[in-house]
A and B are shown apart, each in its own frame.
Chain A
Amino acid sequence: MNTVLALAGVVFKELYRRKDFYVLLVLTAVVTLLAGSVNLFNEGGVVRYLKDICLLLIWASGLVIAITTTARQIPAERENRTIFPLLAKPVTRADVIVGKFFGCWLACGAALLVFYLFFGAVSAAREHHWPVLAYFQACWLQWVMLGIVVAMVLFGSLVFAAPSSNSTIIFVVVIGILLLGRHLNQVALQQPEPLRTIVYTLYFLIPHLEWYDVRDLIAFDQGLVPWIDCALATLYAAVYCALLLFATWLVFRRKPLNT
């Protein structure tokens, strides 16, 4: 555990010493601030619409931070040869994978916390109420979802040739799941065999990231998700993360260390 935490600490330090994180943070903050300050004709609906835009921005920033930070972790270790002095210590390849995963996931969590605190403060200033539990649920579910994304990117970083191709492919897959994932079963019903079985299999195989998207509940004050559903969603994400990390380890243990 000590090794995993030490590795996670280095990933965390890397994130807050890089400029891209601050650029995203400032960009989101500026847009959130602008959007939060607008209240056209005292129309409450407009503020909600703008809140929705801000949350979308937080989602996009979260994905960008998760994917770009994770995609370069293992390739950079191999390219810069930092993996050699690291594995010359009593560190296993499994430790490296788990440490990188936790580092990236915790970094995403810290970034999300800052984003949501800022969003909460701005929306509280406009609407004079602060649904803390709803914000906590939204932040938690997004963070849990990012755990699956981080695990997917770690796996991709060993399968795809370059961090850029990995990032692009994962972006496309994640956006595809978010937009189409929930409709795949309906699409399957309209297809002839064997396409129906293939689409159905895909529907049950993909991690349903769209389940973690509760932006509408916050933007339109629709109350909380039942806590049991939150717990089940967390468990579902944990299972996917474990499977993806296991697959990553299977690939990494046979992978030559030099590029």
Chain B
Amino acid sequence: METIVETKNLSVEYRGTGPAKGRRVAVQNLNLKISAGQVFGFLGPNGAGKTTTMNVLLGFVNPTDGEAFLFGVNVREPIARQRIGYLPELTYYYKFLTAEELLRFYARIFGIPRRQADQRIDQLLKLVELESARSRPIKTYSKGMQQRVGLAQALINDPDLLILDEPTSGLDPLGRMKVREIIQRLKNEGKTVFFSSHELGEVETVCDRVAIISQGQLKVEGRVADLVEQHHANLEQIFLNIVGYTPQAA
């Protein structure tokens, strides 16, 4: 099976500024391999290194050591990002554009021909249920609508890999359900989804495999069902054990 995402001994260090000078290790010797068609959950507490890992995969941050590949292409090459879609945790888009204009802008970046882009935009606006608001400026959208525009832009190039950074954060239960449905639909279409989340129940529902990262280090990785069986606990208990949480006595 084709390997879609691969990191080899990936390490990222940040140089502290202000009072917190010195080097801070964000990711340490991370080895990950994600095959085509998998929905892969990337878990960890805040500051564990999830977003940094995603930032390396997206070419926003250069690794201090090790390498990362998308579709076998080093992430330092912009072409590695031709077949991916990305939804950031906090979605802000050009607020003076309408959803349709925003999608057309991104379609143009991917070099999608006009007629094909029109069809794709229609499909996506229908998928994220923004058809009626397509000609309204994004600044008039609610948070949930903006998150759905974000999802639509992530899908504009019909990506083979979707990278989602906490896609349901800040959404109401209905919004979360819709995002889950879309992930499920993409999975059925054979797409690969790599996403981080704090919603462990959600991860357990939609993911084939998960990795738990803490203090920049990979703690555990495997199929959700195997981990549950191996640890005789649900994913939340496994997660809490791994990150070293001990309940305080009342």
* A17: chain B residues within 8 A (beta carbon): 96
Query: Interface residue count for B (Cβ, 8 Å)?
Result: 31
Min CB distance, B213 to chain A, in Å? 20
Min CB distance, A28 to chain B, in Å? 23
| Contact with B109, one of A81, A82, A89, A257 (Cβ below 8 angstroms) | A89
Whole-angstrom CA separation of A250 from B154 in the bound complex: 29
- Minimum CB distance partner of B106 in chain A: A89
* B101: chain A residues within 8 A (beta carbon): 13
* A80: chain B residues within 8 A (beta carbon): 92, 95
Known: A6-B108, A89-B110, A91-B109. A82 touches B92 (CB 8 A): yes
| Contact with B111, one of A2, A9, A87, A92 (Cβ below 8 angstroms) | A2
B109 touches A6 (CB 8 A): yes
Min CB distance, B120 to chain A, in Å? 15
CB of A192 within 8 Å of the partner chain: no
* A85: chain B residues within 8 A (beta carbon): 86-88, 91, 93, 106, 150, 153-154
CB of B173 within 8 Å of the partner chain: no
CB of A84 within 8 Å of the partner chain: yes
* A10: chain B residues within 8 A (beta carbon): 94, 97, 105
Interface residues of B in 72-125 (CB under 8 A from A): 78-79, 81-82, 84, 86-88, 90-97, 101, 105-106, 108-111
Min CB distance, B47 to chain A, in Å? 15
Whole-angstrom CA separation of A232 from B219 in the bound complex: 64
* B84: chain A residues within 8 A (beta carbon): 88
Interface residues of A in 58-112 (CB under 8 A from B): 80-82, 84-92
CB of A3 within 8 Å of the partner chain: yes
Min CB distance, A97 to chain B, in Å? 14
Contact with B along A9-36 (1 / 0, CB 8 A): 1100110011000000000000000000
CB of B30 within 8 Å of the partner chain: no
CB of B59 within 8 Å of the partner chain: yes
Known: A14-B94, A17-B96. A88 touches B108 (CB 8 A): no
Min CB distance, A244 to chain B, in Å? 23
Whole-angstrom CA separation of A18 from B139 in the bound complex: 13
Whole-angstrom CA separation of A245 from B91 in the bound complex: 29
Whole-angstrom CA separation of A5 from B111 in the bound complex: 11
B96 touches A14 (CB 8 A): yes
A13 touches B96 (CB 8 A): yes
| Contact with B78, one of A9, A18, A91 (Cβ below 8 angstroms) | A91
User: Can you name 27 A-B residue pairings with CB atoms under 8 Å?
Assistant: A6-B105, A6-B108, A9-B105, A9-B108, A10-B94, A13-B96, A17-B96, A80-B95, A81-B92, A82-B92, A82-B93, A82-B94, A84-B58, A84-B86, A85-B86, A85-B88, A85-B93, A85-B106, A87-B58, A87-B59, A88-B58, A88-B88, A89-B81, A89-B110, A90-B79, A90-B110, A92-B78
Give me 20 other A-B pairs in contact (C-beta within 8 A), A14-B96, A90-B110 excluded. Answer: A2-B109, A2-B111, A3-B108, A6-B108, A6-B109, A13-B97, A80-B95, A81-B90, A84-B58, A84-B86, A85-B106, A87-B60, A88-B59, A88-B81, A88-B88, A89-B81, A89-B106, A89-B157, A90-B82, A91-B78
